[in-house]
Amino acid sequence: MQKIDQKANKKDGSSFILGSGSPRRRELLGEIIDNFSVVISDAEEIKSHPDGLLSLVQENARLKAIAVAEIHPDKWILGADTLVALGEKVMGKPKNRDEAHSMISLLSGQTHEVSTGLCIMHRGINFEECRVDTSRVSFKKLNDSIIEEYFEEVNPLDKAGGYAIQTRADLIIEKFEGSHSNVVGLPVEMLREWLLELEILN
């Protein structure tokens, strides 16, 4: 993972809101912006999109941003949504440990994609733009004992696909391509460049 020196470019983000309750996204955004607010979006996610999975994850990010922007029209809002997919099969958050085990077993020995949709919105200046970043993750060939060992160290129930790349990746992941932070839930590299373009960062 390429580390970017961001400290010199941080900016007071008091007019910036992260529309997500994810502690992982909050931590990653904190690498870029200081003093932003968090407002958990109550938007209802859609489950499919006629234009495919990338449009789905982008639209869900947009819906989350809209819900927060309606309450805070004078602020910059960031909506985000992350999707794990093996081919056209979407892996959401497992309902229980058995479902998590099935998901990991399906991903075993396969390469899947993790896409995060981001939507930046400011109602006060009529600004809205959405982008998507995608990473590819290849799993090792796993047996039941390795999966159970992994679950002893990682709670799979609050994670899309039932895994977290930032915790004991050595047990399950062979390699990944693209942004590491994107797999965690927020593509820091892409977002930082985008915020520089918008002069939210300087």
Which of the residues are catalytic? 81
Distance CA 91, CA 99 (A): 10
Taking CA atoms, 163 is separated from 82, 169, 176, 196, in Å, by 13, 9, 14, 32
List 121's β-bridge partners, or say none: 77, 128
Among residues 201, 202, 171, the alpha carbon closest in space to that of 78 is found at 201
Distance CA 18, CA 31 (A): 13
Owner of token pair 């990944």: 176
Overall residue count recorded for the chain in this entry: 202
Q: What is the DSSP letter of 45?
A: P
Residue 199 tokens read as 């002069």
